[in-house]
């Protein structure tokens, strides 16, 4: 919130300030209830850490009265598709399973508390998909689970890449 404290050289009090006059002048109205996130994006892939991230993000969304955008990025596995494996069907089944699990969890706590949520599914690489979803949804925060893959220590996890992007506050749930 901008305010005016007086004029003069930095670090020196003006004549008016030395006389004890009140110099704080508010130039913008105080906004009540606008702090905190409006949209929280959480990435899920069915792993235990991603489901813990979803539980954590749902608590944040409930307390902040924010929209919880649950995002599943269906991986594109071209090698399996080239061999004739029904990859699209498998990742679609995973997405349907995740939606069913989220709905069941929301139903279990319906009488205790409610969370506004949406489920989004995209195809592609996890990092790019989460960035696209967070941009399109105008996310205020992103929550992801810690990587359970040993290979991510070398290549870098989705969480580390999101943090390095520096576009949103990122919470990594163990």
Q: How far is CA 132 from the centre of its chain?
A: 12
Task: Specify which of 5-9, 24-28, 133-137 reaches the highest per-range mean pLDDT.
Answer: 133-137
Question: Which has more pLDDT, 135 or 19?
Answer: 135
The Cα–Cα gap between 48 and 149 comes to 12
Take residue 41 and report the two structure tokens written for it. Answer: 């994006």
Q: How many Cα atoms within 13 Å fall on the side-chain side of residue 77?
A: 14
Return the pLDDT at 109.
60
pLDDT-derived band at 61 (thresholds 50, 70, 90) equals very high
User: Tokens 């919470």 correspond to what residue?
Assistant: 171
The whole-number pLDDT of residue 78 equals 54
Q: Is the pTM of this model over 0.85?
A: no
C-alpha span between 23 and 113 (Å, rounded): 46
Instruction: Determine the pLDDT at residue 173.
Output: 92
Read off the tokens for 95: 């997405």
- pLDDT confidence band for 169 (50 / 70 / 90): very high
The DSSP result for 57-87, as a single string, is HHHHHHHHT-EEEEEEEE---HHHHHTT--H
pLDDT at 123: 87
């Amino acid at each position: 919130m901008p305010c005016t404290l007086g004029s003069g050289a930095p670090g020196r009090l003006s004549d008016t300030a030395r006389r004890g006059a009140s110099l704080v002048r508010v130039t913008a109205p105080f906004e009540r209830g606008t702090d905190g996130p409006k949209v929280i994006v959480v990435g899920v892939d069915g792993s235990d850490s991603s489901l813990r991230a979803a539980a954590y993000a749902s608590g944040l969304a409930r307390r902040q009265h924010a929209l919880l955008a649950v995002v599943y990025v269906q991986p594109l596995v071209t090698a399996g598709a080239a061999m004739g494996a029904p990859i699209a069907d498998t990742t679609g089944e995973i997405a349907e399973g995740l939606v069913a699990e989220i709905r069941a969890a929301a139903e279990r706590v319906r009488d205790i508390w409610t969370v506004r949520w949406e489920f989004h599914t995209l195809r592609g690489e996890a990092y790019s998909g989460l960035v696209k979803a967070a941009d399109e949804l105008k996310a205020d925060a992103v929550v992801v689970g810690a990587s359970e893959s040993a290979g991510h220590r070398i290549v870098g996890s989705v969480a580390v890449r999101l943090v390095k992007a520096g576009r949103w506050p990122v919470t990594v749930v163990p």
